[in-house]
């Protein structure tokens, strides 16, 4: 398992990496490497047939899990459902959650944690098209 590293940063951005996702193992948190102020992002991989070793709940934050590869089962309190690559699961504060990878192979996911109800504007209500010369 590699550590999340800050690659470069400027006054208005920070670029970090958890390294290659293919073969990624364990859990890496990104907030400290980027200095994010609105959410915590973590990358996790569960080996085949394994779950997170504990259930947990959040007091004020919702979590959004994005399954990047593999498949498995997700449990929220007493409800269980299948997830697979491309699945996105929002979990409210105040409930227990866990996930398990299918026996066929590992499951890699991203979890974005942010204060429940904190999103005020997004995409077309918060963004605006700007004029800038591309340096790409
Ligand atoms: Zn959590």
23-46 pLDDT, tens digit per residue, is: 888 899 999 999 999 999 999 999
Residue 20 pLDDT? 87
Between residues 1 and 94, the one the model is more confident about:
94
What's the gap in Å between 111 CA and the centre of ligand 1? Answer: 8
What's the gap in Å between 88 CA and the centre of ligand 1? Answer: 15
**Residues 41/30, Cβ–Cβ less than 8 Å:** yes
What's the gap in Å between 113 CA and the centre of ligand 1? Answer: 7
- Residue 24's nearest CA partner among 52, 47, 58 is 47
- CB burial of residue 3 (10 Å; 0-12, 13-18, 19+): exposed
User: Rounded to two decimals, what is the model's pTM?
Assistant: 0.91
């Amino acid at each position: 398992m590699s550590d999340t590293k800050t690659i470069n940063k400027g006054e208005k951005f920070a670029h970090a990496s958890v390294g290659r996702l293919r073969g990624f193992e364990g859990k890496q948190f990104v907030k400290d490497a980027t200095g994010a102020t609105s959410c915590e992002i973590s990358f996790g991989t569960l080996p085949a047939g394994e779950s997170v070793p504990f259930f947990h709940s959040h007091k004020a934050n919702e979590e959004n899990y994005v399954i990047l590869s593999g498949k498995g089962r997700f449990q929220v309190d007493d409800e269980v459902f299948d997830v697979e690559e491309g699945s996105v699961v929002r979990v409210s504060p105040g409930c227990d959650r866990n996930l398990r990878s299918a026996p066929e192979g590992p499951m890699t996911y991203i979890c974005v944690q942010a204060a429940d109800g904190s999103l005020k504007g997004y995409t077309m209500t918060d963004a605006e098209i700007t004029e800038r010369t591309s340096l790409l």
